Structure 1
Amino acid sequence: MILLTILAFQSSLFGQEKQHHLIQFSGLIVSSDTSFPVPNAHIRIKNTRWGTISNAEGFFSIVVRENDTLSVSCVGFRNKLIVIPPGINQPSLTMVIPMYADTITFAETVVYPWPSKDKFRQAFLEIQPEATLEDLAKKNLNPATLMALSAGLPKDGPEQQHIALNNMAKSAGYLGGQTNYAIFPGSNIPVPLSLLNPFAWAELIKAIREGKFKSKD
């Protein structure tokens, strides 16, 4: 009884070992027309989650079992099925796999961007030649363009200091440094106030006496 059990166990192990015989399957995928390698081809064992991708030289390697079916696919080529033959007594298998181009023919289509010859003639005459790099550089370095761009930029520390010093210099220039001026919102330029200027009042009184404000009628 013990002998029969041992024989049955060994037979079971032998069957499992034969069933799970693994083979290192390597291949080179090439184009059937040019014999050039086909990179980035997908090799997948059907009904499983296992697969691989061919490298830049079209080479790949994957572990398979006997009777496995491999699906080889690549953009621009027809899909191909490869069956691992049974009875392989060696641990590895090498194969060159030619792939056939999958040519798709479309119906001829003529595209006209203009509805008529007159429209084409008008569009052709209105074509503006592309600007050269020198023209683009001159346009970008235009003083008016640079001033418009700089007006929207925030002032840094040195610029703020420069503006403050200019305002102080302008205020010191009115009537020997008198502070009879005002700075209105939105402007950094001081404007003199003639209401507090005695010389302005003297000029006004003189003009009234001379009759400069009398109506000519």
Structure 2
Amino acid sequence: MKITKLHLPLFLLFFLMMTGITSSYAQDSQDKKIIQLSGIILNEDSTTAISGVNVYVPNKGRGTSSNNFGYFSMPVATGDSIVFSFVGLKNQSFKVPDTVEDDKISLILTMVQDEIALGEVEVMPYPTEEEFKQAILAMTVDEIPLDKGNLSPQMLLRWAEQMPSSPNENFRSFQSGQMQQIQDRYGPRSFPLLNPFAWANFIKSIKRGDLKSKD
């Protein structure tokens, strides 16, 4: 691949940038000690491990996340500030001491629930409550005139005759017709004048005075 005169400045700029980053990273590594940071992340009650917690060093491009058991492990440098974040939990931070004798640090971190209470929102069709009250007071309800002729006994009787049967009446009519069909199928219809029980009920009704005129 030939490097043209147009690509040469870009190539030199990229080379200088990579050289500067490498030298600065090497200088930073020489000044700071690299240690292994590991630990377990638990909930507020320390009864359940939290998986999927983001563990990272801001502006350094280094990070990891806790596994199903809440365990994490990552290399950090002395003086780094590690941030622990999770949706619904308050962020926690930990700064690695500048002087660490050992080459590893273990943590047991508890994260607290982050409760955000939103303010009450009232939805109204009017901009203000005062305008809503004024609109209610300004409403006029027209009274429906009542035609007393529609409540006459003749009209009510005509409406009652034209009304369809109720569900109970339809059910009783169906049962009566079904019983009559069964009687016609297995024997002749009964004649009330020859029924002694019907005569007994008729005599009792006379004694009770059911047939007397109520004028």
Q: Same fold (TM over 0.5)?
A: no
- TM-score class, shorter-chain normalisation, is 0.3 to 0.5
